[in-house]
Amino acid sequence: MNDNLGKIYFTEEHTLLREMVRDFARNEVAPVAEQQDREGKFPDALVKQMAELGLMGVPIPAKYGGAGMDTVAFTIAVHELAVADASTAITMGAHTSLGTMPILMFGTDEQKKKYLPSLASGEMLGAFGLTEPGAGSDAGATATRAVKHKDKYVINGQKIFCTNAGKAGLITFTARIIDGDEDLGICVFMAEAGTPGIRLGPPEKKMGWRASDTRSVYFEDLELSQGQILGIPGKGFRQFLTVLTGGRISLGALSLGTAQGAYQMALNYANEREAFGQKIGKLQGIAFKLADLATGLQAATHLVYHAAWLKDQGEDVLKEAAMAKLYASELAMRTTIEAIQIHGGYGYIREYHVERFFRDAKVLEIGEGTSEIQRIVISRHLLEEAQGT
């Protein structure tokens, strides 16, 4: 990120955090990223190191064992990790924004005290199951059923594409509460890994984010108590929309890092590679690409950090988070395509890393709401704003 932009959004503490994460990403994450991707190996060792650095609970209050920092700080951490490796960044990002934040936002004191310290310290990983075979963009179509029997719930259903599920100690998920003949709406539950009635599917074989753990979670007569409900029964739909807004800033930061990593490689290569007696960066066809990508990066940086900063001011950032995620994810895709083009044939070869960034970029336009869904969220907001004036 351009340091002048840092001056707008960062305190001294943020700058120090950025230096720390940047060093860690360069020295520890980048050297193992290619191998982890090739082997589809979950970054266990890096998660342990991130836990020691306090990166698994950046926005969690210190009283629960977190770093007690804000959304801008969390954005910095995800962004800088993604410059080196998207799989490591999503492991930490999903654990925090999807696996841990719902408990901070909607948990009772007892639930917070029970789970937040182990999640914030990284001793335990968190996962969030919303998507189902028949409910992705249309998440309200959740078919997982929690049938009420006196003081307990018997849950059956399936969540798909659940990030971190195979490594998580705690899985938060949505289910529809059924009481007799009545459908009481969507509710968020928490279940500890290993609870009888939870079965994990095998890891998905993915195009990108190959070192991140993604799999199905099956609920087969899973019995949970009232105390494992998170927030208000029947208000789960509204709750997870709030969770997703924070998640979109996180994916925006991940997109920014992916775009920046690919751009830096393309810029370096354009400054080294010669064709027709000169550096290819001097050829206008390549120079213009670099200019466009750098301009996009600057715009995406503002959108992402502005959304994070506004959230820290207590503002409703539904529109800003969607705009940041939409723009930055599409920029990441565009940038990685152009970075391969600038590398020519070498861009297609593993050794040059840009092909990994390209494979990692595509999911950014899909996860936490596809680009089409972001456009729906933004345009709906615009129309509502217009009606209100």
Q: What type of residue sits at position 162?
A: C
Query: What residues numbered 186-215 form the site for ligand FAD, per CB under 6 A?
Result: 206, 209, 214
Assigned token pair, 114 = 């029970």
CB of 105 to ligand FAD, least distance (A): 17
How far apart are the C-alpha atoms of 283 and 304, rounded to whole Å?
32
SS3 category, 214: strand
Backbone φ and ψ of 181, nearest 5°? -95, 0
CB 173 to ligand FAD: min, Å: 8
Please report whether residue 367 would count as binding ligand FAD according to CB under 6 A: yes
Which of 108, 137, 225, 268: binder of ligand FAD (CB under 6 A)? 137
Tell me the closest approach of the beta carbon of residue 210 to ligand FAD, in angstroms: 10
List of E strands, the chain: 125-129, 145-149, 152-163, 168-179, 182-192, 198-200, 214-225, 229-230, 274-275, 278-279
Going by C-alpha positions, the residue among 294, 295, 271, 291 that lies closest to residue 281 is 271
Size of the site for ligand FAD (CB under 6 A): 23
Binding residue (CB under 6 A) for ligand FAD from 60, 124, 130, 377: 130
Nearer to ligand FAD, 154 or 376 (CB): 376
Q: How many CA atoms, within 13 angstroms, populate the side-chain half-sphere of residue 125?
A: 23
Which contiguous run of DSSP H or E holds residue 241? Answer: helix 236-272
CB-CB contact of 168 with 208 (8 Å): no
Binding mask 311-350 for ligand FAD (x = CB under 6 A): ----------------------------------------
Q: How far is the CB of 125 from ligand FAD (least distance, A)?
A: 12
Closest distance of CB 161 from ligand FAD, Å: 3
> Taking the complex as a whole, how short is the minimal distance between the CB of residue 28 and ligand FAD, in angstroms?
23
Instruction: Sort 323 into a burial class: Cβ within 10 Å, 0-12 / 13-18 / 19+.
Output: buried
Q: Is 157 helix (H, G, I), strand (E, B) or coil?
A: strand
User: Cα(first)–Cα(last) distance of the chain, in Å?
Assistant: 37
Nearer to ligand FAD, 189 or 209 (CB): 209
Residues near 342 by beta carbon (within 8 Å), at least 6 away in sequence: 266, 269, 270, 280, 286, 289, 290
Q: Distance (Å, rounded) from C-alpha 10 to C-alpha 4? A: 10
Query: Is-catalytic flag, 315?
Result: no
Of 110, 368, 372, 385, which one is the catalytic site residue?
Answer: 368
Single out the residue of 21, 73, 94, 253 in contact with ligand FAD (rule: CB under 6 A). 94
Give the pairing type, strands 145-149 and 152-163.
Answer: antiparallel
Candidates 43, 57, 102, 129: give the one binding ligand FAD (CB under 6 A): 129
- The contact pattern for ligand FAD, residues 260-279, with x = CB under 6 A and - = no contact, is --------------------
Q: Which is nearer to ligand FAD, 331 or 377 (CB)?
A: 377
- Considering only residues 223 to 252 of the shown chain, the ones binding ligand FAD according to CB under 6 A are none
Asked if residues 124 and 56 have their Cβ atoms less than 8 Å apart, the reply is no
Q: Which C-beta is closer to ligand FAD: that of 204 or that of 223?
A: 204
Measure the CA–CA gap between 105 and 384, rounded to whole angstroms: 26
Contact call for residue 141 and ligand FAD (CB under 6 A): no
Q: What span, in angstroms and rounded, lies between the C-alpha atoms of 284 and 250?
A: 35
Asked if 79 and 10 touch (Cβ cutoff 8 Å), the reply is no
Interface with ligand FAD (CB under 6 A), residue from 23, 52, 272, 372: 372
The one-character DSSP state at 345 is G
Q: Which range of residues in 102-110, 160-168, 188-196, 270-278 is near ligand FAD by CB under 6 A?
A: 160-168
Q: Which one, 5 or 376, has the nearer CB to ligand FAD?
A: 376
The answer to whether residue 161 forms part of the interface with ligand FAD (CB under 6 A) is yes
Please identify which residue in 61, 136, 197, 203 interacts with ligand FAD, judged by CB under 6 A: 136
With respect to ligand FAD, which residue has the nearer C-beta, 16 or 207?
A: 207
Q: By C-beta, is 53 or 361 nearer to ligand FAD?
A: 361
Residues that bind ligand FAD (CB under 6 A): 94, 98, 128-131, 136-137, 161-163, 206, 209, 214, 363, 366-370, 372-373, 376
Q: Which residues are the active-site residues? A: 368
